[in-house]
Amino acid sequence: MKVLTIYDSECRPEVEKLRKEITDRFGKKTILKIKKPEGPHLKHSWHRDAVRMIKLADMVVYVVSEHSAKNSNVEWEIKQSLAHNKYILCLKLSDDVEINESLYVFDKNLKEKICLADVVTDKEVIFSTIKSFNDDSYIKLTNDDYDVNVLLEQYKIFSSSAESLVERRQNMNSFYISANTALITIAATTFALSESSNIIPKLAIVLALSIPGVLLNVSWQRTMQSYYLNNRGKMKVLSMMEKHLAALSYDAEWKAMKNRYSKERYVSFTENERKLPLVFILCYLLADLSAAVVLIAKLFMM
pLDDT digits (tens, 9 = 90+) for 234-283: 988 988 888 888 888 888 887 787 776 766 776 677 777 888 899 999 98
Reduced DSSP (H G I as helix, E B as strand, rest coil) percent helix, strand, coil of the chain, to 5: 65, 10, 25
At residue 83's C-alpha, the angle toward residues 237 and 89, to 5°, is: 65
Dist. CA 244–CA 127, nearest whole Å: 26
What is the pLDDT averaged over residues 116-128? 92
- Could you tell me where in the chain the CATH 3.40.50.450 domains are found? 3-134
pLDDT digits (tens, 9 = 90+) for 125-183: 999 999 999 888 888 888 878 888 998 999 999 999 988 988 999 899 999 999 999 98
pLDDT at res. 96:
86
Mean pLDDT score across all residues of the chain: 85
Provide the b/e sequence for 33-51 (b: ≥16 CB within 10 Å).
ebeeeeeeeeeeebbeebb
pLDDT at res. 194:
59
pLDDT at res. 141:
83
**Percent of the chain at pLDDT above 70?**
90
**Percent of the chain at pLDDT above 90?**
37
Dist. CA 34–CA 46, nearest whole Å: 8
pLDDT digits (tens, 9 = 90+) for 26-51: 999 999 998 766 655 555 678 888 99
pLDDT at res. 39:
57
Sheet holding 3-6, edge to edge: 31-32, 3-6, 59-64, 87-92, 118-120
pLDDT at res. 244:
86
pLDDT interval class at 211 (50, 70, 90): confident
First to last CA, the chain: 62
- Tell the burial category of 195 from Cβ atoms under 10 Å away from its Cβ (0-12, 13-18, 19+): exposed
What is the pLDDT averaged over residues 223-243? 89
Note whether 59 and 118 are within 8 A (CB). no
Note whether 90 and 36 are within 8 A (CB). no
What is the pLDDT averaged over residues 82-90? 94
**141: which residues sit within 8 A by CB, 6+ positions away?**
237, 240, 241, 244
CATH 3.40.640.10 at 3-134, yes or no: no
pLDDT of 197 strictly over 70: no
pLDDT at res. 183:
87
